[in-house]
Amino acid sequence: MKWLAFSGLILGLLCLPAASVLAADCGPDALGTTRTISLKRGAGGAFGTVQHPALPGLQKGEVVLTFDDGPVPVLTPRVLDALKAECAKATFFMTGGNLDAHGDLARRAVAEGHSAGIHSYSHPHLGTLSEAAQLDDLARTQAAYKRLFGVTAPSYRFPFLEETPALMAALAKDKVAVFSIDLAITDWQPADTTAMLADRLSKALDEAGGGIILMHDANPPTAEAIATLLRVIKQKGYRLVHVDWEG
């Protein structure tokens, strides 16, 4: 009997850590990902109320996390680690240059369940380029994406949200979805602190009531603040929705 009780205790002790690790990973305290909006690959469209209609199906109180300009060493891994700790899924709009330079990080993001779109090759002000140069930038970026993932990117975000007629036409023709935003935290200023970014996010959420959030994983203050920013979303009661592409 003693042995049985003892082995039961051992079994209990063995099981406990596993259960608590699971709870810490994806329990009710984590932000989590409440649902996925699956868009058809090749359906095109343009979303985000700063420039376009809202993402179809996205409700008030729901947010979609998007990160631009990566992937880059050190910073993108910090963002990916923080997302993993909160069981949060996001969409990364990656530049072709960084896809070529840091393909391992792009693959890691996708392997961890995030979706990936493109964000130009080298982040130019596209409107200052000739139409031919704009189209070349898109072709180079899609080629970089295809080398890594075997397919072209289903979605595109314009650098600086500066849309051009030539690229809008090309993306519409290729049925690539254009992703604008609903709210942002202007996270590109080097002196920003975590408290400042958290305050900006809180106010932007209050104002917009949810939507597609723009952040920058390649921005050091954002990578520093990301765990706190995810807690802000959770504590304010917003629900995270993941966008991905099927087919």
CA 196, distance to chain mean position in Å, is: 21
Would you count residue 68 as binding Zn ion (CB under 5 A)?
yes
Three state DSSP letters for 21-59: HHHHHHCCCCCCCCEEEEEECCCCCEECCCCCCCCCCCC
- Min dist. Cβ of residue 114 to Zn ion (A): 17
Whether 216 is a known active-site residue: answer yes
In whole angstroms, give the CA distance from residue 137 to residue 208. 33
Give the number of other CB atoms < 10 A from CB of residue 92: 27
Q: Which is nearer to Zn ion, 159 or 210 (CB)?
A: 159
Would you count residue 137 as binding Zn ion (CB under 5 A)?
no
Identified catalytic residue from 102, 119, 216, 242:
216
- Min dist. Cβ of residue 212 to Zn ion (A): 14
- Min dist. Cβ of residue 72 to Zn ion (A): 12
Q: Are 225 and 96 in contact (CB under 8 A)?
A: no
Whether 68 is a known active-site residue: answer yes
- Min dist. Cβ of residue 38 to Zn ion (A): 25
Q: Which is nearer to Zn ion, 69 or 163 (CB)?
A: 69
Closest-approach residue to Zn ion (CB)? 68
Would you count residue 182 as binding Zn ion (CB under 5 A)?
no
Q: Which is nearer to Zn ion, 30 or 185 (CB)?
A: 185
Would you count residue 69 as binding Zn ion (CB under 5 A)?
yes
User: Is residue 245 helix, strand or coil?
Assistant: strand
In whole angstroms, give the CA distance from residue 114 to residue 242. 8
Q: Identify the bridge partners of residue 242 per DSSP, sorted by sequence position.
A: 36
Q: Which of residues 147-166 bind Zn ion (CB under 5 A)?
A: 159
Q: Which is nearer to Zn ion, 95 or 142 (CB)?
A: 95
Q: Are 88 and 33 in contact (CB under 8 A)?
A: yes
In whole angstroms, give the CA distance from residue 202 to residue 206. 6
User: Is residue 99 helix, strand or coil?
Assistant: helix
User: Is residue 84 helix, strand or coil?
Assistant: helix
Size of the site for Zn ion (CB under 5 A): 3
Q: Which is nearer to Zn ion, 69 or 86 (CB)?
A: 69
Binding site for Zn ion (CB under 5 A): 68-69, 159
- Enumerate the active-site residues: 68, 216
